[in-house]
Each structure stands twice: as structure tokens, then as C-alpha cells.
Chains A and B, each alone.
Chain A
């Protein structure tokens, strides 16, 4: 999307009317408060269980941005999540340099642009669901990286678009199954193409990184067990991820005419190492607006893909396949507040290599922005 640099606008406006536009320190915020309950604990959705939970969908964010001069601005977004005991962390903290009117360079801590909703993943007010589909939006640990990105905007005829390229590094704790390991992703890079024309939009992206998990095999978790089994079977080296490349592909199409909204998003994760299973995840969602009420329906599906032979047999221990159907409503009872209710039917075909169960997740939430 071609979006004008607000800083430049503010500067030009300042020049002609100092009184009206003198404040260039912007403070914005968002709050989501939610409550959920799972019908039974035989299905696994995040940290939800069969007692009402009030912290899984609760998020508070505060963003401060300051235009330093005509071309440079600083932005910090502090987010406190119920899922992480309300510890506050910087989801974003970057300096933007407007190299030209259509080219932005950002340095700092950035949101990894894996998905259509990545940029505003935590701003519940910005979308209809209480949370995006877990089958597709599944790389939570890696949602922010430290690095640099370049965004070039362009317009041709009635098509507006942008190309974003980023490069960075990620290092943090990662809990893939039961045990926590340090993980490092080097040469973390990707490119995102965004196009809009009238009511239609499309997004294509590719991401890759070299993975390092030196602590694997030194603990007693499920993954350490896999390494022991693989070593015993003579394929141990296939399960050591260090230096192996992981690739992620994403494609989305959207339609929004104001009353009807549609999105389909497809993703695929491809690991050179066998320690994690390759998988694909996709969703299709439609929404219809009736004045201040929006009804939406979503189907999503995630499925692991195993390698052949001995490697695949070992991978099968952690295999997962699931799908879900979500029906929900959003009520905009004020221009900056939305009330949402949702019922999600979760069908786990396979969970950690064993046949899964099904269950319902019921949720309500209030989202607001200021």
C-alpha cells in the first residue's frame, strides 16, 4: 500500500499552521480482554482448559512514536500479554528513515512479517476474530526479530503495492513440545509482496533462516528422545538442526467491499532438518456485516508432512494434524470498541503421533483502541 509519511505531512502542515498541528508525539494504545473455556481437555489449544481462563486473550499495548525530523521517526510498542504473566516487552522498537517518499528503512526490533495479519496480530480491534486461526498463525515464538527492513511502495494504474525485504537475527528460548531450549536463527531473511486493487488484495511472502539449537540432545524432553532414537537407528545426523535452513512460504488473497469480507491464506513450513516436521496450514474465512454486527465463519487446517523411511517413522512420534471451524460475531458498539463472541470446534486428527480428540472452545472478548 502506498501510505504517505505522516511525518512529512505533519511538517508541511506545521509550516502553514503551527497552532493546529504542533504536537508530533503520538500515543496510541490497544486493549483486549477475553475469557475462554474449553469443553474438555482432550484437545489442545494453547493454554486453554476446561476452567474459564481470563488471561489467554488479554493483551495491553501502548505505542509511542515521535517524528524526530522530516525523514526520521522513532516508534516503540510495549506489549503486556496475559499468556506471559503480563510481563511487558517491546514488540516493536525501531527507527524509521524515509529514504524517499516511497522507500522506508527501519532498524530495530520489528514484527516478523510471516502472515497477512502479522503486523497487527495483537490489535484485536483490527480484525473480526478474537484471535487468528491457530492452525495457520503458528510461529508465535518468532513473531519479532532484530534487524533491518526496507519497504518500497509503488502504484501502477489502479494497483497499489509494496515490496518489503528484511534481514535479521533471532535468539531466544523456545519450547517446541515440553522442554525449553535456546534457539538461534541466523541469516533470518524474507521478502513480502503486497498488492491491492479496489476491493481485492493479495500477499505473497517467502522467509528463510539457518537454525541453531545447541542444547538439543542434552535435556530430557520429547525432542531429546527423538535424537536418541534416531542415533540408535543410524540417522542421528538428520535430526541435528545446527546450520540447517528452514523455509516458510505464504500466500493470501482478500476481498472486502465493506459488507462482505473474504480471506484465504495458505502457508507451508519446510525444514532441512528432520527434528521438526514439515507442515502446511491454511484457512478460509468469510464475514458479512449487518450494520454494527459482523458474523464470520472460518475453516482452518494444519497437517504435518513426514519424510519417508526410518526418518519418517521417528518423526511420526510428534506428528500433528488438526482442523477447526470457528463461528463468531463482532459487535461494534462504539467507533473504538468491539465486543466479540466465538465458538470454535477443534478436531484433532493426530496429536503427538496418536489419534486425537475433538472439542469446543467458547470465547468472549472486548477489544478497544485509543
Chain B
């Protein structure tokens, strides 16, 4: 019995370790020239759900999504927005067909989003933390 317990302990430990290794960190980024420092999850979620169009400092905020199916997008939807892809589709279909809003533009992969965001201080995106460089600023990490 004792042996079994230790084995399961080791197994749990290993699982946790592998889990944390596999889980890549995703960073929410703005251009290095954007004046806002850190943003909280609620603000980011409101920008990406079209509920607000401004950064906390009042400047315009335009969210950009990654292409459907990308690992960063799945993680962002799940952890930051707290919605599955079909829930998001239903959410946006309520707005698209009433002319009240359109979802963020799909703007490619981690590298492409980073390049876009770097060039425009009004954009906000999310990328795998590994592609972050000096051209962008990390405002939230998960």
C-alpha cells in the first residue's frame, strides 16, 4: 500500500512537471510605443469582446486575433476570455447580424501578430511568450 502511495505521488509529481513544461506561456502585447503599462484580465477581455474600444489611458484599442486553431488563440480564449470557440462564435453572431460589432481581425500567427502590433500603438494582440522582443511590451501573461 505504501509503495502504491509513493508511486502515485511520483506519478502526480511527474504529471505536474510535464504539464508545466508543455504549457507554453502566452503574452498579451502592445507596441513598445504604447503608453499603457500592465492591463488586467477584465480590461483585456472587454477589448477583445468589443465591449470597450479604449485603453485605460483613453487611447483607441484595436484587438487582433490569431488565425483559428492556433495554440495561442485556444489558450487565450480559454484562459482570458473564459469561453469555448463555439461560445465565442455564438457571441459574435449576435453582434455581426445586428451591425453592432465585428470580431477582431484574424491576423495570422505569433510572429505575424507581433510584427503588426509592434508597428501600431493602437493594436493589442497575444503571442507565445517566446516571440516577444523589444519592439513590443508585455501587458499581461498567463
CA distance in complex: A96, B96 (Å): 14
**Other-chain residue from A4, A13, A101, A127 in contact with B101 (beta carbon distance below 8 A):** A4
Tally of contacts, chain A with chain B, CB under 8 A: 112
Q: Residue A94 at the B interface, CB < 8 A?
A: yes
| Category for how many chain B residues contact A | 35 or more
Q: Residue B83 at the A interface, CB < 8 A?
A: yes
Smallest CB separation, B43 vs chain A (Å): 10
Q: Residue A86 at the B interface, CB < 8 A?
A: no
- Which residue of B is nearest A111, CB measured? B98
Contact with A along B41-69 (1 / 0, CB 8 A): 01000100011110000001110000010
- Which residue of B is nearest A124, CB measured? B93
User: Would you call A158 and B42 a contact (CB within 8 A)?
Assistant: yes
Smallest CB separation, B76 vs chain A (Å): 15
**Other-chain residue from B53, B62, B94, B108 in contact with A123 (beta carbon distance below 8 A):** B94
Inside 8 A of B93's CB, which chain A residues have their CB? 30, 120, 123, 125-126, 369
CA distance in complex: A4, B63 (Å): 10
Inside 8 A of B123's CB, which chain A residues have their CB? 13
Inside 8 A of B53's CB, which chain A residues have their CB? 2-5, 9, 101
User: Would you call B52 and A2 a contact (CB within 8 A)?
Assistant: yes
**Other-chain residue from A3, A8, A17, A338 in contact with B116 (beta carbon distance below 8 A):** A17
User: Would you call B116 and A119 a contact (CB within 8 A)?
Assistant: no
Given A119-B94, A125-B89, A292-B86, also A6-B52 (CB < 8 A): no
Those of A329-343 within 8 Å (CB) of chain B: 332, 334-336, 338
Q: Residue B97 at the A interface, CB < 8 A?
A: yes
**Other-chain residue from B60, B86, B95, B99 in contact with A106 (beta carbon distance below 8 A):** B99
Smallest CB separation, B127 vs chain A (Å): 16
Decide if the interface of chain A is mainly helix, strand, loop or mixed.
mixed
CA distance in complex: A73, B116 (Å): 25
**Other-chain residue from B42, B50, B86 in contact with A4 (beta carbon distance below 8 A):** B50
CA distance in complex: A334, B61 (Å): 30
User: Would you call A120 and B94 a contact (CB within 8 A)?
Assistant: yes
User: Would you call A120 and B119 a contact (CB within 8 A)?
Assistant: no
**Other-chain residue from A4, A63, A155 in contact with B62 (beta carbon distance below 8 A):** A4
Q: Residue B102 at the A interface, CB < 8 A?
A: yes
Contact with A along B89-125 (1 / 0, CB 8 A): 1100111111111100101100000001001101100
Given A258-B83, A335-B86, also A63-B96 (CB < 8 A): yes
CA distance in complex: A158, B86 (Å): 25
Inside 8 A of B130's CB, which chain A residues have their CB? none
**Other-chain residue from B46, B82, B90, B100 in contact with A126 (beta carbon distance below 8 A):** B90
Most chain B beta carbons < 10 A, residue from A3, A8, A123: A3
Q: Residue B85 at the A interface, CB < 8 A?
A: yes
**Other-chain residue from B46, B87, B97, B119 in contact with A77 (beta carbon distance below 8 A):** B97
Given A125-B90, A338-B86, A369-B89, also A9-B96 (CB < 8 A): no
Inside 8 A of A26's CB, which chain B residues have their CB? 102
**Other-chain residue from A1, A9, A158, A160 in contact with B100 (beta carbon distance below 8 A):** A1
Smallest CB separation, A257 vs chain B (Å): 8
CA distance in complex: A123, B95 (Å): 11
User: Would you call A12 and B52 a contact (CB within 8 A)?
Assistant: no
Inside 8 A of A369's CB, which chain B residues have their CB? 89, 93, 96
CA distance in complex: A77, B93 (Å): 13
CA distance in complex: A155, B120 (Å): 25
Those of A83-141 within 8 Å (CB) of chain B: 92, 94, 96, 101, 106, 111, 119-120, 123, 125-127
Inside 8 A of A94's CB, which chain B residues have their CB? 99
CA distance in complex: A278, B90 (Å): 35
User: Would you call A6 and B86 a contact (CB within 8 A)?
Assistant: no
Inside 8 A of B98's CB, which chain A residues have their CB? 111, 119-120
**Other-chain residue from B51, B96, B120 in contact with A16 (beta carbon distance below 8 A):** B120
Which 3 A-B residue pairings sit nearest by Cβ, starting from the closest? Answer: A4-B53, A3-B101, A6-B102
